[in-house]
Amino acid sequence: MNYTVTELTEHIRQMFQENYWLQDVTVRGEISNLKRAASGHWYFTLKDEQAQLRAAMWRSSVNLQNYIPENGAMVEAHGYIDLYAARGEYQLIADRIRPLGIGDLYAEFERLKAKLAAEGLFDQARKRPIPYFPVRIGVVTSPDAAAFRDVQNVLRRRFPLAELILSPCAVQGDAAPAQIVAALERLSRFVGVDVVLLVRGGGSIEDLWAFNDESVARAVADCRIPVITGVGHETDFTMVDFVADMRAPTPSAAAEQATPNIDDLAVAISNMRDSITLATQSRIESLRSELESAQRGLRHLSPVRTIATLRQRIDDWNARLEREQHARIRTLRERLASRTAALHAASPQAILARGYSIVTFTDSGERVKSAAEAHAGDGITVRLHDGDLKARVEDWETHEQYRRTLF
Amino acid sequence: MSNIDALSFEAAYAELEKIIDQLESGDLTLEESVTLFERGRKLSDHCQALLDKAELRVSQITESGDVQPLG
């Protein structure tokens, strides 16, 4: 960034103005360098052991001031922080200054606190949860108070979905406690709000005193709706803070604690949108993979497959059967051929064909089985493969004799 | 299922959260998943639209208990 001094100073000044806390602050310290100018304004410094703060009080506030401080006085000043551009100094613009010395009030506060604590009004178990989405938010404060404006600003920025219902009341002075009680009562009686903000901006301890009132504390404890308090500043504790369901340090903080942030919601919705898409995609993916694995399983179990297997097996068997049959037939055929051949070889006709002959007695037709059976003069028939010879035995001799003559 | 346009932000938001739980539990049929997906998208559009057009309403309760718009 590149600024002129004026621009940068103006920027810093805006930072002060945008800070809720610094616009409504109460500060304790010792008065020094007090100047009461002719214009009616007061200029002074507030200091403690370690720090100093420049301060001014304009004539309009000075005129309302009963207490006139002196250098060295311990005071509590209320106002806002601003930047004095001409000197480049930040300063407190005070609208109230009062002397410290409040021992009496403090003692009273402690007595009531002990009493309510003893009744159990501060118990954690009594505290109700604050709804996450408060549709209607009740606010108990003064319509003119900066606190009401702060709450509206925060809600506009943070959770404009809500409806804000003001239950107006005085927030300081003698009438304030009764009005605060009545305002709380109206909210819980007439409208269904989801949460109540009981708020007031910073001020002196006397200014905040209505919030230490016993009847107010009891009204908060008895309220049917969860109550968030935001009274005074960070360091201010009033009785209602102890009995409330939740205590916020300031009015703005009370509005913040009552509501979700719209930017967070937008992000959450966008994230949920992504989650929905992702979850659906992954569901579809897993269904797809289930389907694919089922299809694989089905292919395994399919009868088509079984039938094909069986068919193949049958084909195998058929082929084997055929091969075996062929082999057997061939064997049988070969055996038949050899038998036929043997048979053929053994037939009388075949024997005759090879040159052998059968001799029978012509008369009886008996086979001549031995040479000794025949006698000279016997008629014999010699059967050859192609015809018979009629002959007559002339002589015979045994092989023994024959051999002898032959060799 | 109710008409989405009539739903308040809170109701739509709560239903969105429920739909995500259901979708992420992972034991839905395809048709259930897709139906929930579509409804979830519409719900998130609806929520976003409500956020976009939201404008804080401010009113005041009178002593008699009447609620009147303020400012």
Q: State the pTM of this model.
A: 0.54
- Residue B1, chain A, CB below 8 Å: the answer is no
Which overall architecture, per CATH, does domain A105-263 show? 3-Layer(aba) Sandwich (3.40)
Percentage of chain A with pLDDT > 90? 45
Average pLDDT over residues A197-211: 88
Q: What is the pLDDT of residue A407?
A: 52
Q: Which residues make beta-bridge pairs with A227?
A: A196
Domain ranges of chain B: 4-69
Containing A44, the helix (H) or strand (E) segment is: strand A42-47
* CB-closest option in B44, B63, B65 to A269: B44
- List CB contacts (< 8 A) between B51 and chain A: 161, 262, 265-266, 269
| Structural contact between residues A85 and A10, judged by C-beta atoms closer than 8 angstroms | yes
pLDDT in the model for residue A353: 83
Question: Taking CB atoms and an 8 Å cutoff, what residues of chain A touch B50?
Answer: 161
Q: Is A200 helix (H, G, I), strand (E, B) or coil?
A: strand
In this model, does residue A221 exceed pLDDT 90? yes
Kindly state the DSSP code that residue A78 receives in the 8-state scheme.
E
Q: Is the pLDDT of residue A306 over 60?
A: yes
Of A232, A228, A218, A215, whose CA–CA distance to A175 is shortest?
Answer: A215
Could you tell me which residues come within 8 angstroms of residue B40 by beta carbon, excluding any fewer than 6 positions away?
Answer: A272, A273, A276, B16, B19, B20, B23
Q: Three-state SS for A299?
A: helix
Which chain A residues contact residue B9 at CB under 8 A?
Answer: 133, 161
In 3D space, the residue among A365, A273, A204 whose CA is nearest the CA of residue B38 turns out to be A273
What are the two backbone dihedrals, phi and then psi, of residue A170, each rounded to the nearest 5 degrees? -75, 145
A119-135 tens-digit pLDDT: 999 999 999 999 988 98
**pLDDT reading at A406 higher than 60:** no
pLDDT tier at A101, thresholds 50, 70, 90: low
Tell me how far apart the alpha carbons of residues A197 and A248 are, in angstroms, rounded to a whole number: 10
Give kind and range of the element (H or E) at residue A314. helix A303-346
**Domain boundaries A5-101, corresponding CATH code:** 2.40.50.140
Q: Do A186 and B65 touch (CB under 8 A)?
A: yes
Residue A233's φ and ψ, nearest 5 degrees, are: -120, 175
Binary contact (A165, B44; C-beta < 8 A): no
Chain A positions touching B37 (Cβ under 8 A) are 276-277, 280
- Reported as a single tens digit per residue, the pLDDT across B26-62 is 788 888 888 998 999 999 999 989 888 888 999 999 8
Residue extents of the structural domains in chain A: 5-101, 105-263, 350-406
Rounded CA separation A236/A223 (Å) = 22
pLDDT tier for residue A104 given thresholds of 50, 70 and 90 = low
Tell me: pLDDT of A168 over 90: yes
A:B CB pairs within 8 Å: 112
Question: Which of B44, B50, B62, B64 is the best mutation test for A, with the most CBs of A within 10 A?
Answer: B44
Give yes or no for a contact between A130 and A228, defined as CB atoms under 8 angstroms apart: yes
Once rounded to an integer, what is the mean pLDDT over residues A91-107?
80
| Banded model confidence at residue A198, pLDDT cuts 50, 70, 90 | very high
CB contact under 8 A, B51 and A265: yes
**Cα distance between residue A233 and residue A223, in whole Å:** 23
